[in-house]
Chains A and B, each alone.
Chain A
Amino acid sequence: MSNIESQTIAFVRDTMIPEQAPPLTEAGAIKWLRENLFSGWFNSTLTLLSLAIIWWSLAAIGPWLVNTVWNAGSLSECRRILDGTGGACFAVINDRWHQLLFGFYPSHLYWRPVLALVLLFVALAPILFTGLPRKLLVFSALYPFIGYHLLWGGSIWLPISALLGFVAGGIAFILVRKVNGLAAVFAAVLAPVFWWLFLAGPFDSAMSSVLPLGLDFVRSDRFGGFLISLVIGVTGISLSLPLGILLALGRQSDMVFVKSVCVIFIEFIRGVPLITLLFTASLLLNYFLPPGTSFDLILRVIIMVTLFAAAYMAEVIRGGLAALPKGQYEAADALGLDYWKAQRLIIMPQALKISIPGIVNTFIGLFKDTTLVVFIGLLDPIGLSNAIRASTDWQGIYWELFIFIGALFFIFCFGISRYSMYLERKLKTDHK
C-alpha cells in the first residue's frame, strides 16, 4: 500500500496546516453584524431606523437626565440651580418620595407597612416555593390578620376575635361531623357568623378593657401612594381567588340555575369598565345598603375590586379546568370520590397549576388598574402626583413624577411577570 502511495502521491503532508483565520466578512463582530443587522436591504433599513430612534431618544432625554438636580425645596429653586440649562428636577422625588410610597401614613410608623410587606413575602414563600417546610403554611393562614393589624393598628383583640370565628367554625365542623356530614358544613358556616355577629364585639371590648394591647390606630384616609395600590391589589386578588374558583365551578355546574347566575355575574362584570364599578362603590353603594350605613371608602373599593377580579379569575380557572383531560374527572369518579373530594384532591390542584400564569397576569392587570381609584378621590400614586403638583412649591412639574411612578410600577409588574414565567417553566409537567 505504502509503495503505491509513495509512487502516485509525490507529497504526503504529515502535519496539519495551521488553521487559517476565516475571511474577514465571515468572522467575529463583522460576521455577527452582517448576519444579524445587515443581512439584506430591508434589514439594513430597519437597523438604521432603530439606531436613529435610539440615538434620537438618547439625545432628547440623556442630557436632561444627566443634569438632574437632587436637592431643592421647590421647582423655582430647581430652575435657579439649573440656570437655564435643561435638566430634570428629581428633587421633587427626594422631597416627596415618602408621600408617593405611603401617602399620609404617620412617618414614625413607616416600619409597619414595610414590615407587613416583608411578612407578606414570608407568608407567600411556602405557597410559591414547594421546597420549604409545610409548617410555614400556618403562618400564611395567619398573615391576613397580622397584616391587617400591622397596617391599621388599633386593638389587637379585633383581629384575634375575627380569627376566633374561623376557629369556632373549625371546632363546630369537627364536632358535628360525627353526627352528619352535611350538617357539619352548615355548622361550620353558621358558627363563625354567629360568633362575629353576637360574640365577637363583646369579646373584643371585654378583652380590650382587661388587657389593652395594640398598636396606634391609623385611619384609612391616611393611606395613600403605593401602599394603597398594594393593599387594594393584594387583598383584592387573594379574596378573589376563592370566589373565582366557586364561580368557575358554578359555571361548569350541571345545575341550570346556579350556572346561569354565575354566567350572568361573570359576563356582567367583564362587560363593564372597572371605573363604573368603582363609581358604584363610591356613589351608589349607599343606595343598596340599609339607610345610614356607611363604611370606609377603601373597604368599599376592595369589595368592588374583589368582585371585579373574581369574574376574571373565574374565567382563568375555567380555562384551567377545560384544559384538564376528561380522563381525570372520570378517574376521580371511578375512585368513588364525591364531588368536593374530587375537586379538592384531583381537579383543583391540576387546574390551578395550569392557571398560574393566568392568575399572575390577572394580578398584574389588577395592580395596574388600582390607579383608577384616583377617579373616586383616593390618593394612589397618580392622585398624589396631582396633589404634589397642586402645591405652590411643585406647580408645573410633570415628567419626574411620572418617571418615578412609572418606574416603580414597571419594576413591580416586570418582576412578577418574570417570576410567573419561571414558575410556568418549573411546573410544566408535559405528559406528551
Chain B
Amino acid sequence: MKKSVFVGAFAATALVAGMAQAQMLQSIQDRGELNCGVSTGLAGFSAPDANGVWQGFDVAVCRAVAAAILDDAMAVNFVPTTGQTRFSALASGEVDMLARNTTWTFTRDIDLRLTFVGVNYYDGQGFMVSRDLGVSSATELDGATVCIQTGTTTELNLADYFRANGMNYEPVPIETNAEAQQQYLAGACDVYTTDVSGLAATRASFESPDAHVILPEVISKEPLGPVVRDGDKEWEGIVRWTLFALVAAEELGITSANVAELAQGTDNPEVNRLLGSEGEFGSMLGLESDWAVRAISAGGNYGEIFAANIGDQTPIGLARGLNALWTQGGLQYAMPFR
C-alpha cells in the first residue's frame, strides 16, 4: 500500500506518457476502455443506478462511442467530474471525452482550447419556484433569494439577467445539484435556477412535483454537447460523427430494432453509406465499416435514447421541443453522410 503504489504509479506513468504520443484512438483501443467524463449525478442525464451501472442521456453518447470503436457499449469507464474539475480532467488526459451537460461557449471553445463536437441537447436556463409563492413570471423575482450551482455558466447568466432587468437578488452559491435541491426544498431560497432540463429532472425527483412551477422565461441559450481536447482531428471526427450517426439514424428511420436488417443493404444509398454496406466511411475514421451499426445498436438512435432516458414517458418528462429533428421543427440536424 505504500511504496509499491509509487512503483506501480511510475511504471504506469511511463506507460501512459508513452501512449499519449500515439493517437487517441489507438490508445483507447489498446486500453480496451473509453474514459468518459460525466457529471456526478443528474437524474436522466447521468447517474449510477442501484447496481452502480451508469445510465442516462449523456451516458448513452459515451456508450455509443465505445460501441463504435471497441464494439462493446459497456467498455466505458465513467469518471464523475464536478463543474470545477471537468475541464482540467479533459486537459490532463484523465478522460478521453466529456459528455456532461457542458455549454458550448466562445471562451470555452477558443480560450480553453476545447472542441465541442456537436450539440446533443439544446437547453436554456430557467427558474423553478414553489407554487404557493404565487409568482408567475421571472420579472416578479426582484429581491428573491436564488440558489445556484457554482462553477457553471448559470451564475453568469443569472447575474446578466437580473442586471439587465434592473432587479436585485441574493445569490446562494451551492456546490452540487443535490445540495441545491435540499436548500431549495428547505426554503433557504425562493428560486432554484439551472438548465430547464435539469429543473425538470430535479422536480421529478421531488415528493410532490406539483407544488413547484418552472417559470416560462428561459434566460439563456445552453447548447450542451460532448467535448474533446483540441489537437486530434481523427478522434474529434469519431465522436462528432458518432453523434451525427445517431441523429441521422433517426432521420432515416433506423432504429436499434431494424439496424441489423438494414445493414444488409437497402435501396437508400445514404443508409448504406451510414451503415457501411456501401463506401469506406468506417476506414476513413480509422474504424471498422460497421461502426455506425454498433453505435446505433448500443442504445438506439437519437430519438430512442431521448425517449428512454428523459422523454415524456420517463419521470423526467421532457418534451422534444428544440431537440426534435429539423424536419419536425426542431434543431437536431445531422450533417450529410456523403
Considering only residues 69-105 of chain B, those with a C-beta below 8 Å from chain A are 77, 79-82, 84-85, 88, 91-94
**A183 to B79 Cα, complex, angstroms:** 47
* B182 engages A396 (CB within 8 Å): yes
Over the window 145-185 of chain A, the binary record of Cβ atoms lying under 8 Å from chain B Cβ atoms (1 yes, 0 no) is: 10110010000001101110110000000000000000000
Q: B8 contacts the other chain (Cβ, under 8 Å)?
A: yes
Query: For B181, what are the chain A residues with a Cβ–Cβ distance below 8 Å?
Result: 390, 395
Closest to B88 in A: A283
Closest to A389 in B: B178
Query: For B7, what are the chain A residues with a Cβ–Cβ distance below 8 Å?
Result: 158, 161-162, 165, 196, 200
* B178 engages A200 (CB within 8 Å): no
**A297 to B91 Cα, complex, angstroms:** 15
Considering only residues 180-224 of chain A, those with a C-beta below 8 Å from chain B are 196-197, 200-201, 219, 221
Q: B40 contacts the other chain (Cβ, under 8 Å)?
A: yes
Q: A286 contacts the other chain (Cβ, under 8 Å)?
A: yes
* A235 engages B2 (CB within 8 Å): yes
**A142 to B17 Cα, complex, angstroms:** 30
* B92 engages A295 (CB within 8 Å): no
**A179 to B179 Cα, complex, angstroms:** 66
* B81 engages A294 (CB within 8 Å): no
Q: How many Å from the CB of A28 to the closest CB on chain B?
A: 52
A158, A200, A293: most-surrounded residue (chain B CB, <10 A) = A293
Q: A229 contacts the other chain (Cβ, under 8 Å)?
A: no
* A293 engages B1 (CB within 8 Å): no
* B4 engages A145 (CB within 8 Å): yes
Q: A67 contacts the other chain (Cβ, under 8 Å)?
A: no
Q: B43 contacts the other chain (Cβ, under 8 Å)?
A: yes
Given A292-B19, A295-B13, A387-B41, are A286 and B91 also a contact pair (CB < 8 Å)? yes
Q: How many Å from the CB of B19 to the closest CB on chain A?
A: 7
Given A221-B79, A390-B177, are A239 and B93 also a contact pair (CB < 8 Å)? no
* A200 engages B11 (CB within 8 Å): yes
Q: B12 contacts the other chain (Cβ, under 8 Å)?
A: yes
**A396 to B91 Cα, complex, angstroms:** 36
Partner of B13, one of A151, A289, A390, A392: A289
B7, B9, B92: most-surrounded residue (chain A CB, <10 A) = B7
* A151 engages B1 (CB within 8 Å): yes
* A283 engages B205 (CB within 8 Å): no
Considering only residues 2-36 of chain B, those with a C-beta below 8 Å from chain A are 2-13, 16-17, 19-21
* B40 engages A144 (CB within 8 Å): no
Q: A302 contacts the other chain (Cβ, under 8 Å)?
A: yes
Q: A76 contacts the other chain (Cβ, under 8 Å)?
A: yes
Q: B219 contacts the other chain (Cβ, under 8 Å)?
A: no
Q: A299 contacts the other chain (Cβ, under 8 Å)?
A: yes
Q: B207 contacts the other chain (Cβ, under 8 Å)?
A: yes
**A221 to B16 Cα, complex, angstroms:** 18
* B205 engages A144 (CB within 8 Å): no
**A144 to B205 Cα, complex, angstroms:** 45
Given A196-B10, A235-B1, A235-B5, are A292 and B41 also a contact pair (CB < 8 Å)? no
Query: For A163, what are the chain B residues with a Cβ–Cβ distance below 8 Å?
Result: 4
Q: B185 contacts the other chain (Cβ, under 8 Å)?
A: yes
Partner of B16, one of A165, A282, A294, A297: A294
Query: For A295, what are the chain B residues with a Cβ–Cβ distance below 8 Å?
Result: 9, 12-13, 16
Q: A231 contacts the other chain (Cβ, under 8 Å)?
A: yes
* A390 engages B4 (CB within 8 Å): no
Query: For A231, what are the chain B residues with a Cβ–Cβ distance below 8 Å?
Result: 1
Q: B52 contacts the other chain (Cβ, under 8 Å)?
A: yes
* A148 engages B5 (CB within 8 Å): yes
Q: B176 contacts the other chain (Cβ, under 8 Å)?
A: yes
Given A158-B4, A235-B2, A377-B80, are A293 and B16 also a contact pair (CB < 8 Å)? yes
* B2 engages A104 (CB within 8 Å): no
**A294 to B31 Cα, complex, angstroms:** 14
* B17 engages A395 (CB within 8 Å): no
Query: For B43, what are the chain A residues with a Cβ–Cβ distance below 8 Å?
Result: 392
Query: For A296, what are the chain B residues with a Cβ–Cβ distance below 8 Å?
Result: 9, 12
Query: For B4, what are the chain A residues with a Cβ–Cβ distance below 8 Å?
Result: 144-145, 148, 158-159, 162-163
Q: A386 contacts the other chain (Cβ, under 8 Å)?
A: yes
Q: A94 contacts the other chain (Cβ, under 8 Å)?
A: no
Q: A291 contacts the other chain (Cβ, under 8 Å)?
A: yes
Q: Taking chain A's interface residues, is the majority helix, strand, or loop, or is none over half, making it mixed?
A: helix
Considering only residues 50-76 of chain B, those with a C-beta below 8 Å from chain A are 52
A144, A200, A239, A390: most-surrounded residue (chain B CB, <10 A) = A390
Partner of A292, one of B1, B12, B16, B85: B16
Over the window 343-382 of chain A, the binary record of Cβ atoms lying under 8 Å from chain B Cβ atoms (1 yes, 0 no) is: 0000000000000000000000000000000001100000
* A392 engages B8 (CB within 8 Å): no
Query: For B40, what are the chain A residues with a Cβ–Cβ distance below 8 Å?
Result: 377, 387
Q: A238 contacts the other chain (Cβ, under 8 Å)?
A: yes
**A35 to B43 Cα, complex, angstroms:** 63
Considering only residues 126-166 of chain B, those with a C-beta below 8 Å from chain A are none
* B20 engages A162 (CB within 8 Å): no
Considering only residues 272-324 of chain A, those with a C-beta below 8 Å from chain B are 282-283, 285-286, 289-297, 299, 302
Query: For A145, what are the chain B residues with a Cβ–Cβ distance below 8 Å?
Result: 1, 4
* B8 engages A294 (CB within 8 Å): no
**A282 to B86 Cα, complex, angstroms:** 11
Partner of A162, one of B3, B52, B206: B3
Query: For B177, what are the chain A residues with a Cβ–Cβ distance below 8 Å?
Result: 390
A219, A231, A239, A386: most-surrounded residue (chain B CB, <10 A) = A386
* A390 engages B19 (CB within 8 Å): no
B5, B9, B79, B181: most-surrounded residue (chain A CB, <10 A) = B5
Q: How many Å from the CB of B325 to the closest CB on chain A?
A: 31
Closest to B41 in A: A390
* B205 engages A395 (CB within 8 Å): yes
Given A292-B16, A390-B41, A396-B185, are A377 and B2 also a contact pair (CB < 8 Å)? no
Query: For A162, what are the chain B residues with a Cβ–Cβ distance below 8 Å?
Result: 3-4, 7-8
Partner of A239, one of B2, B85, B179: B2
Given contacts A145-B1, A395-B185, 19 further A-B contacts (CB under 8 A): A116-B1, A148-B2, A148-B4, A148-B5, A158-B4, A161-B7, A163-B4, A221-B77, A235-B1, A286-B94, A294-B92, A295-B13, A299-B5, A299-B9, A302-B5, A390-B177, A395-B206, A396-B182, A398-B182
Shortest beta-carbon contacts, A-B, top 8: A292-B20, A390-B178, A286-B92, A162-B4, A144-B2, A147-B1, A148-B1, A162-B7
Q: List 13 A-B contacts (CB under 8 A).
A: A104-B52, A148-B2, A158-B7, A196-B10, A292-B93, A295-B13, A296-B12, A302-B5, A389-B182, A390-B41, A395-B178, A395-B205, A395-B206
Chain A interfacial positions (CB closer than 8 Å to B): 76, 104, 116, 144-145, 147-148, 151, 158-159, 161-163, 165-166, 196-197, 200-201, 219, 221, 231, 234-235, 238-239, 282-283, 285-286, 289-297, 299, 302, 376-377, 386-387, 389-390, 392, 395-396, 398
